[in-house]
Structure 1
Amino acid sequence: MSAFRIAADIGGTFTDVALLAPDGTLSTAKVPSTPHDYAQGVIEGCLGILARWGASPAEVAEVMHASTVATNAILEGKGARTALVTTEGFRDVLELRRIRVPRLYEPLYRKPAPLVPRRFRYEVRERTGPRGDILTPLDAAGIEAIADAIAAAGIEAVAVCFLHSYANPAHERLAGDILRRRLPDCFITLSVDVLPEIREYERTSTTVINAYVAPPVGSYLRSLRKRLDDGGMTAPLFMMQSSGGILDLESVLERPAQVVESGPAAGVVGAGLVGRRAGYHNIISLDVGGTTAKASVIENGRHLTTDEYEVGGGISLSSRLVKGGGYALRLPVIDVCEVGTGGGSIVSLDPAGQISVGPHSAGALPGPVSYGRGGDRTTVTDANVVLGYLNPHAIADGTVPIHADAAHDAVRRQLAEPLGRKVEEVAHGVVAIANARMARAVRSVTTSRGRDPREFVLLGFGGGGGLHAVALAESLGITRVVIPPAAGVFSAFGLLFSDIEFAQSQGMLVPLDAAEPSRLTAAFETIENEVVRRLGRAAEVVRLQRRADMRYAGQAFELTIDLPDGAIDAALLDRLSDLFDAAHARTYGHSLPRTHRREIVALRVVGTVQVERPEARMADAAKTLSMPSRQAYFGDHGWLETRIVNRAALADGEAGPLVVEEADATTVVPPGWRATLDAQHNIVIDRQREQQP
C-alpha cells in the first residue's frame, strides 16, 4: 500500500473524516456539517486532514463515504415525484400494506401516507402466474399511454412492479424498455432488479423506495463526485451500504435503496473490528450522534443482518412483531435500532410539565445554545455543559467554541425556573431521560431478541457515546464499557476497514424434501455470476456466501440460513434442515419435528471482496496527560472535583470521577467505575465492586 485512504461520514451536527496513511497511521478530523450543501463539509474535512499531512489530493487511492441523504429524503418527505406502474387490480397494494400496526391500543392510528399518491399509481393489463406462466400478455399500448400520462405529470422516477414477476421477468423487462425509451429523463427501476422475491407489498414498497430516493441520492453523489474531481481527488468513490459492505458509485446509483441505513452500518462494522482485536465476541454497539442514538448487537464476532426493516417510523428498527410504523424495506440491513435522541435533541416541557427530550434536533444550524450559532432552545449537549461533563471553552479540537454561560441560562429559564428546581438537578434529569430513551434502542436489539444485555460489553462511540455509555450501562446492569480510539469519528473509521460487497436474491418456493440439488445448484450459479459481474472483480478474488430463506410450511415469514460449504446434495440439504431448526429455536424458542415440512422461499448470494489495508494505529497523542480539574455534578453524589485527563493518562488505571477529553470526543467516568487502557488503546471502564463491610 503506497497511498492514502480517506473516509467521510455525514452526521446531523458534524461531518467526521478519517485518513489512513500508507504506514497505517490513522488521523481524524471533525468539522461542522453543512446542511445547505453536505458535500461542502466533506470536501473541507478531506482537504483539511490532507493538509495536516502535507499530502496532495492526487495521493488518495480510495474515498469511502456514508451519508443519511437517502434516509432524510424519506423522513422529510423530500424524495422524487414518483409513479408506480403495476398489474391491473393491484393499484392499492401500498395502501393495504400489512394488518399490523405499531400502536396496539390506538384504534385511530393512521399509517404513513404512501410514497406514491394514488393518482400516480397506474394499472396495466397483464398477468403472470406464480410458476412463471403467462396468463395475460402485456398490453404494450397501455404502457405507451401510461408513459404519456407520466410525462404530463412531471414525474421524476418510476417503479415497475408486476404480479409474480420474480417467477418470470419478461413483462417487467418489456415495460421497462418502453418506459426508458419514452421517458429518457426519468429514473426507471424494476422490482426484478431490486427484489425478485415473493410478497407483493414488500416487493412493491422496496421498489418504490428505490425510485423515491434515487434522484436526491443521485444528485448528491454526482455533486460530491464533481467536487472531489474539481479538488484533484479523482480516486474511486465507494459508498457504505446498509448491509455493512461498501459498493462503487455506479452500483449505488442503480440501487440507492441499499444505502438507506448507510451511516449506522459503518459504526457497527468498526465496532466488530475493534471487538475482535480486543478479544470481545459479544458486543452491544452504541452510537450517539447529534440527532440520533443507534444500537446494534455483535454476537460471536459477527454483526447481525436482517431484511425485516422499516424506515420512516418514529423508531427505525427491524422487528417481526412491531410493524406498520414505516415503509417496508426488504433488503439486507445491519440489525440496528435507532431512536431520535442525540446531543442536539431539543429539550422542552410537555403540557403536563414533564421534561421531554427529542425527537426534534437543533442539528448543525443553529445547533445547541452553547455553540453560539443562534440556537435558542435547550439541548442534551447544553445539559452536559451545565453538568461540567463537556469542556466549558471549546470542543472538537478547539473548532467549536462553547458558551457555558448561555447553556446555563437556557436551562435555568426554559426548564429549572418553571419546574422550581435547581439548574444542575434539571440538567441531570435531562441526561437521565436521554439515557432512558437510548436504553429503548439497546433493549430492542437485546431483550427483545431474547438476549441478556448483562452478558455483553457495551462499546460506545459517536460524539456523545462516551458521555452517556457508562450511565446507560449502569441502568442495564452491564459491568464493562469500552470506548475505542477515534470514538468521535468512529463511523468514518469503520468505513476505512469495510469490504466491498454486493448481495443478490432470487425467489424460489420449493419444499426442502422435494428440492432438486441440480436445480438449486444451477440457480445459485446464475446468481453468483450476476454478483461477480456487479462487483467488477475477477471471480477468484470474490468470496461467495450462499444463503437460503426458509420456513415451516404454513408460516408467513422466513429465517435466512447460511448454506454449509460443499456441493449441494441430499446430505447438505439434510444438514440445512438442522441448521434451520436450530435458528428457529434460537429465535422463537422452539422448533418443529421432522414430520413437519420445511420450505425454501428464496436463494441469496453475498459476494465480498476483501480489501488489504495495513494495521491501523493512532497518530501520536498530545503529550499533556492531565489538565486542570473542574467541578462536575453526579446526581446523588452532588458536585465533585473531577480530574480532566486525556487517554494516555489511563495507562495505569484511574478511578472515577474522571472526564477524558480528546480531540473528537469526551468520556465521563462517574464514581464507582475505574478506567484503564488495554493493549489496543481502548478505554476499558469497569464497574468497581462495592466494598464489603
Structure 2
Amino acid sequence: MLDRTKAAGCRVGIDIGGTFTDLVVVNAKGETFTRKVSSTADDYARAIIEGLAGVLEPAGLGLDEITEFLHGTTVGSNTILELKGARIGLIATKGFRDVLEIRNLRMPKLYDLHWDKPVPLVERYLRLVVDERVDAAGTVTKPLARAEVEAAVRRLLGEGVEGIAVCLLNSYANPAHEQLIAEVIRELAPDLPMSISSEVLPQIKEYERTSTTVVNAYIMPIVASYLKNLGDSLHRQGMKAPILLMQSNGGLTTAKDASEKPVNIVESGPAAGVVGAVRHAMESGHNNIISFDMGGTTAKASVAEEGKFVLSQQYSVGGGIMISSRLLTGGGYLLAVPAIDVAEVGAGGGSIVWIDAGGSMQIGPESAGANPGPLCYDKGGERPTVTDANVLLGYINPHYLVGGELKLNAERSRRYYEELLAKPLGVDVTTAAWGARQIAISNMIRAIKAVSSERGRDPRGFTLFALGGNGALFAAGMAQELGIKTILVPPSAGLFSAYGLLYADVEHYYTETMRELLRDVDPYAWTTAWNVLEDKAVAQLRADGFTRDEMTIGYFAAMRYKGQTFEISVPIPHGPLTAERIREIEEAFGSEHERTYGHRASFDEPVQLISIQVAGLAAHRNTQKPGRPQRHAGDLKSEQKPRQAYFGREHGWLETAVIPRAALSEPRRGPCIVEEYDTTCVVPPGATARLDALNNIIITLY
C-alpha cells in the first residue's frame, strides 16, 4: 500500500515523445511515482498538465510542492522535421547569400539519383546581403554602412518576417558588424526575435555557423512560446519552481536560456535517456553500455565507455537516419553545437509498414504517432505499423498496454495486415508481421553500428541497455544479430528518458576558434583564451544560482590532421599548458583518431588545432535521486495464463509464460514475456533472465 503522507517537496521529470508523454515524480523520501499519457501534438502542455494531476495525487503531493521541474521536449526537433518554424529572414555578407543551398557539398546517399536536398529554412527572397568584409584575423577590410543595414532590416520587416538570423563572414573573429546589425534590429523592431551567429556559434566554418544560426532563429518563436505558455499554465495552478530544460549535450539549462538559444535543446529527449542510462548502468556495475531507446516514433542508440558518454560537435536533423557520423552527412539540417553522440532512425512502434514500387516491404520513417496511432489503437488509423506486428506475433497483450489503460483491437491489425501486406506479398499474416519486425530490427541495427563499429568500437564488448516503451521488445533480437551477450532492462524502462532528467546537472558550453598548428601554439595565448571562456561559464552558472565551489570546469580541444575536413574533440586535463603538455595533447589526439578511424598518421604529419571549448557544470544541491518506483496499479501482480508467441522459422509458435518482473527473482529460461505498465520485455528461447540487486532485468544470451 502506498504511503500517502505528504512529503516536503518533490522533483518532477517530464519527457515528451512523439507518441507518449512520460512523467516521473520523486518525493523527499526518495519514493518514485510514474505515469505515461498520450502526447497531445496540438498542445503538448495539455498532456503535461493532465499527466501531472494523475501522478501527483497518488504521491500525496500538489503542484505547489514541486521544487524542481525538469523537462525534455521534442518541440524543437518536431518543428524542424515538420517544417513548421517561423518565417525568418537572413542577413549575410555580400557573395554569401546562397550558403544555405550550396551547403558543404556532402551527400548522404552517393548513388541515389532521386535524393533531394532539404529545402532551405529561409526562402531566397528573404536572404539579403550587406557589403562588408572582415578577414580571418578579425581585421575590418570593408566597413559596414549603417544606412545599408537599415535598408535591409526595413525590407525584411516589410515582408512580415517573424525573426531575423544574422551571419557574416568571419564574424567569429570580430563580431563588430553583427553587433551593429543587432543594434539596428533592436531599434527598428524591439520585440522581434533575432539570432546572431557570433552569439550562437562564434567559430569557424561558414556553412555550419549559418545553418546553426538559421535553425536557432527558425525554432526560437515556437520554442519560446511553448515554454512561456507551459510556465504560465503551471504557475497559475500553483507551481513555484522554475522550469529547467534538458540540452542536447546532456546538461540542464534554464527556460530563459532555452528560449534564446533553442538550438541547444533540439535533441533534448534522447539526451535525457542516455544520461539516465549511463548513471543507472554505473550504479548497476555496467561501465560500458550501448543505450538503445525505442519509443513510438523513433529509435536511438548511443555508446558510453567507463561511465562517460561521447559528445559530438555537430549533427543533422532530418534526412532519414539522424546521426553525427562523419561518414554520412548532408541529409538534414546541420547543427554545430555539442550534443550527445546519438544515432536516430525513424523506426518506432508507430512507424508505418508499407510496400514500395519494387514490391519490397519498408518501415518508416513516417509514423502514425499518438493520433491516430497504430491500427490496434482503434482510433481510425488505416496503415499497418510495427506495433501491430508485435500484437500479431503475440508479444503485446491486447488487453494490457499501459497497464490495461489502453485496450487494443488485435483483429483490426490482422485484417489490415492481411489486406495491405500479406496478400500483396503472397505470404500469410504471421510471415508478414515477422518480416516487419525483422526489417525494423535491421533498420535499428544501423543506428547501433553508427555509434559503435563506425566509431571503432566492437558492440560485442558492451551491455545493451534497453529503454523506451519498445526497447525491451526488440533488444534480444538486436543483440542476437550483433553478438551482444548481455541486456539490461531497468525498472520503468518505458519512462527512462524522464528518469534521466533527474540525474542530469546544469551545463553550459563556450567555444573559441584557434586555427593553427598545434606545435606552433603559444601556451600563454591558449591559456588566456581558456581563461576567458572559463570566466563566461562561471558567470553564467553564478547567474543560475550556483557558488564557485559547486562548479566543475571541463576543457576540450577540437583537432585534426592538417588538410582533413573533420576534427575530433579531445578532453584536456586541467593544469598549466606547457610545451610538454601540448605534446601529450597531440598524442591523445592521435590515439583517439586511431581508435575512431583505425589508423593514425606519422609524427611528421602536423596536427592542427581548430577550436577550444570550456564546459561549465554544476551538480544539483538536491540529493533526491530516483529510487525504486512504487508499484503501479496497472502492474502485473502474478504470473498470467501463457499465450502463444512466434519466434521465427526456427522455433515457430511457442507457448510462452507471461510474468511480472518480480517473478525473475529466480533465473528463468526463455521464452517468456515480462509485462509491465510502461513496457513489455521479450526473453527469447534459449536466453536466461534474472533480477539483479537494483531490480534490473538481466538477460543473458548464449
Pair in the same fold by TM > 0.5: yes
Cα 1:676–1:200 change in 2 (3 A) is same
Is 1:103 the counterpart of 2:109? The answer is: yes
Aligned pair partner of 2:585 in 543, 566, 576: 576
Is 1:619 the counterpart of 2:619? The answer is: no
Match of 1:632 in 2: 645
Q: How does 1:371-450 map to 2 (within 5 A)?
A: 371-450=377-456
- Aligned equivalents of 1:197 and 1:453: distance in 2? 34
- 1:242 touches 1:258 (CA, 8 Å); kept in 2? yes
Match of 2:3 in 1: none
Equivalent pairs counted in the alignment come to 688
User: Match for 2:287: what amino acid?
Assistant: H
Q: CA deviation at 1:442?
A: 1.0
Q: How does 1:155-304 map to 2 (within 5 A)?
A: 155-304=161-310
Match of 2:355 in 1: 349
- Aligned equivalents of 1:653 and 1:607: distance in 2? 44
User: Match for 2:627: what amino acid?
Assistant: R
Q: CA deviation at 1:615?
A: 4.5
Cα 1:524–1:442 change in 2 (3 A) is same
- Aligned equivalents of 2:463 and 2:174: distance in 1? 48
- Aligned equivalents of 1:670 and 1:601: distance in 2? 49
Match of 2:503 in 1: 497
Match of 2:663 in 1: 649
- 2:636 touches 2:676 (CA, 8 Å); kept in 1? no
User: Match for 1:617: what amino acid?
Assistant: G
**SS of residue matched to 1:266:** helix
Cα 1:19–1:380 change in 2 (3 A) is same
After superposition, the C-alpha distances for 1:99-142 in whole angstroms (9 at most, x for unaligned) are 22111113564311211111111111211111111111111111
- 1:30 touches 1:396 (CA, 8 Å); kept in 2? yes
- 2:315 touches 2:336 (CA, 8 Å); kept in 1? yes
RMSD in angstroms over aligned alpha carbons? 1.5
Match of 2:122 in 1: 116
Q: CA deviation at 1:572?
A: 2.1
Q: CA deviation at 1:635?
A: 1.6
Match of 1:26 in 2: 32
- Aligned equivalents of 1:595 and 1:452: distance in 2? 30
User: Match for 1:582: what amino acid?
Assistant: S
- 1:564 touches 1:576 (CA, 8 Å); kept in 2? no
**SS of residue matched to 2:519:** helix
Match of 1:456 in 2: 462
**SS of residue matched to 1:680:** coil
Match of 2:555 in 1: 546
User: Match for 1:556: what amino acid?
Assistant: T
- Aligned equivalents of 2:136 and 2:373: distance in 1? 53
**SS of residue matched to 1:318:** coil
Q: How does 1:360-375 map to 2 (within 5 A)?
A: 360-375=366-381
User: Match for 1:141: what amino acid?
Assistant: A
Q: CA deviation at 1:623?
A: 7.5
Is 1:51 the counterpart of 2:57? The answer is: yes
Match of 1:597 in 2: 606
Aligned pair partner of 2:540 in 519, 529, 534: 534
- Structure 2 residue runs without a partner (length 5+): 1-6
- 2:658 touches 2:673 (CA, 8 Å); kept in 1? yes
Task: Give percent identity, aligned residues only.
Answer: 45
TM-score, with length taken from structure 2 = 0.96
Cα 1:462–1:206 change in 2 (3 A) is same
Q: CA deviation at 1:410?
A: 2.2
Match of 2:522 in 1: 516
Q: CA deviation at 1:390?
A: 0.8
- 2:689 touches 2:698 (CA, 8 Å); kept in 1? yes
User: Match for 1:479: what amino acid?
Assistant: K
- Aligned equivalents of 1:548 and 1:281: distance in 2? 25
Query: Please, which moves more after superposition, 369-378 or 349-358?
Result: 349-358
Cα 1:93–1:633 change in 2 (3 A) is same
List 4+ stretches of structure 1 deviating above 4 A.
Answer: none
- Aligned equivalents of 1:586 and 1:421: distance in 2? 45
Match of 1:691 in 2: none
Cα 1:633–1:222 change in 2 (3 A) is same
- Structure 1 residue runs without a partner (length 5+): 689-693
- Aligned equivalents of 2:64 and 2:10: distance in 1? 9
- 2:560 touches 2:607 (CA, 8 Å); kept in 1? yes
Query: Please, which moves more after superposition, 349-358 or 440-449?
Result: 349-358
TM-score, with length taken from structure 1 = 0.97
Is 1:555 the counterpart of 2:564? The answer is: yes
Q: CA deviation at 1:417?
A: 3.0
**SS of residue matched to 1:313:** coil
Q: CA deviation at 1:583?
A: 1.5
User: Match for 1:540: what amino acid?
Assistant: D
- Aligned equivalents of 2:158 and 2:292: distance in 1? 48
Q: CA deviation at 1:222?
A: 1.0
- 1:393 touches 1:404 (CA, 8 Å); kept in 2? no
**SS of residue matched to 2:700:** strand
**SS of residue matched to 1:548:** strand
Query: Please, which moves more after superposition, 407-416 or 127-136?
Result: 407-416
- 1:251 touches 1:534 (CA, 8 Å); kept in 2? no
Aligned pair partner of 1:13 in 3, 12, 19: 19
